[in-house]
Structure formats: structure tokens, C-alpha cells
Structure 1
């Protein structure tokens, strides 16, 4: 195995560990409304490592997070959502990090994954009407979008500055 592959595997594992640790810290508002911060590590993995590894980090961190610290029932739909988060950030931001791309990726994740897909998963899990859940989750996501976007821009700044050097070592 070349050093390039070793670095990518180790870096991916570090992001899985970070996302798993961050999954321990959440703010539960209701059983269908929760604020989590592990998505930041998953997004950073997609930004730095690309869509494939970002996707893997998202999926693996959700599974590992549940195994280490189960809270509620495991539902594979959320594993898909976390994997999509890493994939989306990898597709939009990887190798071209900029504030505008981070904002676009976060908007796609917020609307496509958090508001639509996760609301669908919750409606399946709890038997609640999609639109009833969606209305409550709109407020949460509108409030959290700027917070997540600012935090990701803070993360993307150093990634943008170091990405050329890092990616040269990885590629």
C-alpha cells in the first residue's frame, strides 16, 4: 500500500472518529427535532477528501456513532443522509474550496437532506404526516443554516489555504 493510500485512510478514519465524537453532543428539542454537529466533520471530510471518502465517512460515522452511543432507534435512512452530506460537499467543494461553494453545498444539504429527506425518514419512523414535521423543521433549518455555514467557512478557510499542499501529498 502506498503512502498516498495510507494517508487517505488515516485521514478518513480521523474524520470518522471526529464525527462520531461530535455525535455525542446534540441538543434535543423534540423527538423529531434535534440539533447535531457531527455533520460539520462529515462536510469537512467531503471538502478535503472528495465525494467518495466524504460519503464513506458520513455513513461509517453514523453507524459507529450509533454503536458507541445509541440514542433512539437505529434507522438506516439517516446513514444515507449522512453519506449524502459527505458526497454533496465532496462534489461541490472538493479541489475548489471557496466560501460561495461552501454556502451552496450547505444550502443543498439543508434543503435536500435536512429538510426533505430527513423529514421523510422521520415521517416513516414515527408515522407523522410529512407536512406537519416539515413545518417545524423549516424553522430549525432556517435558523441553523447561517450557523452551520459560518462554522464551515471557518473550517473551509484553513482547508483552502492548505489544500494544495495536502492534496499534492494525497494525489
Structure 2
């Protein structure tokens, strides 16, 4: 098993017992920490197709899937949405509060941060500066050698749960 897989497994073991019983939560966290961390946009179609394949493999039910959009899970509960534009990719994963707590958020944050570090050494990251124990978050910003701009946010709120959103946009000179 690779070091990356071991670290992700260790992070997922930190998920609270309530969430561990929810196999879709683990699948959504793995999807977010792997498929939603773009290396580069490339030709858009290739990374987008890979995201769709990973979403299907996660076991989340397919709601909508076409050449530009993928919606998986239940929009009123746990879900993932992926989209492709002419020169952009987006990925959003939402885990409701009933399925995850702050410990789960921290496990996902560690896994996502590790993936960004592995794929984009030297990335910029900031923690949300909020003293409330009910709100937490982190954001990342990356400009790649392939002229992509990648931005991501991970947020936690006691009443809302966890949301991870990332977008990659090609930049032009």
C-alpha cells in the first residue's frame, strides 16, 4: 500500500464511530480527498471523466450524469457534484451534520491537505480564523506550471456538516 493510501486510511480511521457506520461518508471523504484534488486540468475531458468514474465507484447513486455534469448521492443529504466547462472543472462534496462531526472534518482536512502537498508542493493554505467551536474551515490556492489556477475550500458548521468545494480554471496570457 502506498504512503498516500496509508495516510488516507489513517485519516479515515479518525472519523467518529457514528460516521464509520456510514459507508457512504467514507466513500465521499475518499472521493473528495482524491478525485477532487486536481493535478492539472489538461484537456478537461480526461480529468472530468476520471472524476465521474470515481464518483460512480464510490457507490453514491447517480442522479444526473452527462458530458458536462455529474450529480451523485442525495441532494437533500450526502452528495457530490462535478462539472466541466470549456476551461474549468468543479467538484463539491457535501456531508450533512447528522453524518459527520468536527473530528470527521479534521480527518478530511488532513487527507485533503496531504493530497495538495503531494500534488502541489508549495501551495498556499489558510485556516478560517473563527474562534467558534461550531465553525471551522480551510482554503487552498494553487497556480500550476500548466497555467491552471486551483482554489479549494473546506468548511464545517455544527448545524450544516462539512462541505468541500474545489475549482480549477485554465488561465490565459
Query: Which bracket does the TM-score occupy, shorter chain normalised?
Result: 0.3 to 0.5
The structure that is strand-richer by fraction is: 2
The structure that is helix-richer by fraction is: 1
With structure 2 as the length reference, what TM-score do the two structures score? 0.36
With structure 1 as the length reference, what TM-score do the two structures score? 0.37
